[in-house]
Amino acid sequence: MKRRFIALGVVVACAAVAVIALIYKNKNQDMENNPFLTAYTTPYEIPPFDQIEYKHYLPALEAGIEQKKAEIEAITSNADEATFENTIMPLERSGEILNKVGSVFFNLDESNSSPEMVEIAEKFYPLYSQFSDEITMNDALFERIKHVYETRNESGLDHDQIRAVEDCYKQFTRNGALLDAESKEQLKALNTELTNLYLTFNKNLLNATNAFEVVVEDSARLAGLPQSSIDQAADEARTRNLGEGKWVFTLHAPSRLPLLQFADDRDLRRQVYEGYTSLASSGEYNNYPVISKILLARAKKAKLLGFENFGSYMTDNVMAKTVDNAENLLMQIWRPAVNRVKEEVAEMQALADTNGDSITIEPWDYYYYAEKVRKAKYDLDESEVRQYFALDNVRNGIFSMAERLYGVKFTEMPDAPKYYDEVTVYDVTDAATGEHIAVFMTDYFPRASKRQGAWMSEFKGSWENEDGTSSRPVIFNVGNFSRPSGDTPALLTLDEVETMFHEFGHGLHGMLSKARLRSQAGTNVDRDFVELPSQIHEHWALEPELLRTYAKHWKTGEVIPDELIAKLDASSKHNQGFTTAELAGAALLDLRYGRLNPTDSVDAQAFEKEVAEQLGMPSQLTFRYRSPYFKHIFGSDGYASGYYTYLWAEVLDTDGFELFKEKGIFDPETARKFKENVLEKGGSEDPMVLYVNFRGKEPSVDALLRHRGLDPVADVKLGSKSGK
């Protein structure tokens, strides 16, 4: 998942020295020593994390707001006719301080939070959001942008500049620039309300996740679990001061998923499954009332901005264009997925009956019996497979993939600044010339201060300076992967391996960008295009040609045997009904929420149940994320009415990888075309144009269905200008 910041309405960039001096004037000693208010002297402008203290955030935010106000005033007071060079570019380059403090605070609030950060967030986010509204509703600024927009085709601008003008104009209008004064005030109030609701949702979710535990005191209940999971649970018990002879299981994926997959104790599986699927659903951390308020505020916002509903507002400026188009694609995937689920459940029930288990398959049985069916059908035991996927080896694999495809090399920087001691920092260079390309950081293990999931973000973007030189980015990946335990290194599940490749794909999108404008660089692309670079790189994870270079037994160093590779390939489509249906179901639930136009309180729990019934959700599974912990869509509006993008992008990535398979997975020409047309271009061109330039044709849903082993359906085209 690509982590997205709250939009400022425009992207922040370099500031004028005179304006900085104006802000520093008369500041006290604490302000002068604030690291956000001075130039970073660290390698490649990595934030100086060891110098940053809690007391620095809010003063830097306030200084950044004042700086940006002064820069906007300079733009709007310019008596000359508005042009790209005196309006759009100064806006692009404005806000140095705000960018520095915002990128650090937003990212650490997600990956290394604390009670102090939570307290700061309650002031930081509303101030940031309110200032965002102030910019996008600035009439004088918008009039200049509007003039540049109206004259863009006669101004001799390059294509990427015209696109930047169009995007800027649309961003302002989508954020209320055309509203009257009274409506603008209403929109500001709604945005502030939503910001506070997102804060509450996220705080409830983090607290509920950390509050849950299942303590096991009888070792017999651990039967079936891999030793690595048992050791991890024992470590967790010691961390919680419960002493020896006890084991603690949590809702973090490295604890929860192996238990559901391997634990013979059915009641233990049920406890953890029900704990997860009822997360933040009741009591002190109940998110259902928060969701109801979010839905009401979103409906009011959409109506105010002239849209039928919030879903229409969110899909208007992406490839899908409409909720109908997104839902049409999902239904073509949902139906064959549900059919496959029925087959999978029948196989699992038959195996349970054969074993004399005397049960009817329930949701907490799905992972467990799916693993048993896989072992029976393909003689594949994932606990055996994990021995070949030590985290460091997998990291070597992703670096090897990047070097072979794109000619980049990763060298560790042991003395570089880092925000947590488990973070590793790399200098990314051109393997042929040694030229610096980017800084890359990894932060892979779970902790109480980190939210669940995996994501990519940046502490610094990339852009072209006025003198033509390139300012290079600082990119990082965050995960919640299985920890080392005792003498055993971190051994990853197949899902964790693919997730590492996925987030690294996002990282490559950020690191290799050559877009001139910061607002178009890296992952600043349409939301339903941003997952293409991440998802296409998942395909390399289990390709034999790469596997043999990095998948080595952690004890013996033995390369993964061909027999095991063959089993992995044979079982690659196993359980795809379940995987696809829970993902498509969550995406459909999200879109149905987007269609709502509530005028009163919404019973989200009842609505979710109603959607499941309408879709014919099999009783043995549920949505990948239930509403109270569906952070993608209720923790911010970044993926709201947009969770479908993972499957939308999979249509692109599976179709695109078929070209690599045809030409060779490390074919230099195919890799060059993908790098130049997708990774380097960012948002400087229409995403479907970029895809066609790489692939030579538009995609259809068939490649996705082939990849997942589902029955093909009627062709569906993506991203046409008509929105059809």
**Domain CATH number, residue 66:** 1.10.1370.40
Do 169 and 21 share a structural domain?
yes
Q: What is the pLDDT of residue 15?
A: 33
Q: Do the beta carbons of residue 38 and residue 24 sit within 8 Å?
A: no
Q: What is the pLDDT of residue 84?
A: 98
Q: How many domains does the chain have?
A: 2
What does each C-alpha distance from 430 to 404, 408, 411, 508, 671 come to in angstroms? 12, 5, 11, 13, 15
Catalytic hit among 382, 503, 650, 680:
503
Q: What is the pLDDT of residue 22?
A: 39
Report if residue 86 sits inside a domain. yes
Do 40 and 169 share a structural domain?
yes
What pTM, to 2 d.p., does this model score? 0.88
Report if residue 243 sits inside a domain. yes
CA distance 694 to 691: 5
Report if residue 46 sits inside a domain. yes
Do 247 and 152 share a structural domain?
no
Among 278, 295, 310, the domain boundary falls at: 278
Range of the domain at 167: 17-136+138-174
Q: Is 213 a catalytic residue?
A: no
List, as own/partner pairs, every contact residues 254-259 make where C-beta atoms lie below 8 angstroms and the sequence separation is at least 24, other chains included.
254/446, 254/480, 254/481, 254/482, 254/483, 254/496, 255/229, 257/367, 257/493, 257/495, 258/225, 258/226, 258/228, 258/229, 258/482, 258/493, 259/225, 259/229
Q: What is the pLDDT of residue 317?
A: 87
Q: What is the largest CA-CA distance in the chain?
A: 85
Q: What is the pLDDT of residue 30?
A: 57
Do 144 and 45 share a structural domain?
yes
Q: Do the beta carbons of residue 152 and residue 677 sit within 8 Å?
A: no
CA distance 274 to 256: 11
Do 132 and 23 share a structural domain?
yes
Residues 6 or more apart whose Cβ sits within 8 Å of residue 159? 684, 685
For the chain, residues with pLDDT lower than 50 are 4-27, 29, 713-724
Q: What is the pLDDT of residue 372?
A: 96
Do 162 and 33 share a structural domain?
yes
Query: Count of alpha carbons within 13 Å of 215, Cβ hemisphere only?
Result: 12
Do 223 and 120 share a structural domain?
no
Do 168 and 258 share a structural domain?
no
Nearest to 160 by CA among 671, 525, 653: 525
Do 23 and 165 share a structural domain?
yes
Report if residue 94 sits inside a domain. yes
Do 218 and 170 share a structural domain?
no
Report if residue 45 sits inside a domain. yes
Do 113 and 47 share a structural domain?
yes
CA distance 87 to 202: 37
Report if residue 32 sits inside a domain. yes
Q: Do the beta carbons of residue 503 and residue 534 sit within 8 Å?
A: yes
Q: What is the pLDDT of residue 528?
A: 85
Q: What is the pLDDT of residue 711?
A: 76
Among 259, 278, 297, the domain boundary falls at: 278
CA distance 584 to 586: 5
Do 255 and 147 share a structural domain?
no
For 345-404, what is each residue's pLDDT tens digit?
999 999 999 999 999 999 999 999 999 999 999 998 888 999 999 999 999 999 999 999
Report if residue 111 sits inside a domain. yes
Among 244, 278, 312, the domain boundary falls at: 278
The tokens of 67 are what?
């700086």
**Can you tell me whether residue 442 is helix, strand or coil?**
strand
Report if residue 264 sits inside a domain. yes
DSSP assignment string, 598-664: -SS---HHHHHHHHHHHHT--TT---SS-GGG-HHHHS-SSSTTTTTHHHHHHHHHHHHHHHHHHH-
Q: What is the pLDDT of residue 660?
A: 98
CA distance 21 to 136: 26
Residue type, 314: M
The tokens of 243 are what?
């002493």
Query: Measured in Å, how far apart are the chain's first and last C-alpha atoms?
Result: 27
Find how far residue 570's CA is from the centre of its chain.
30
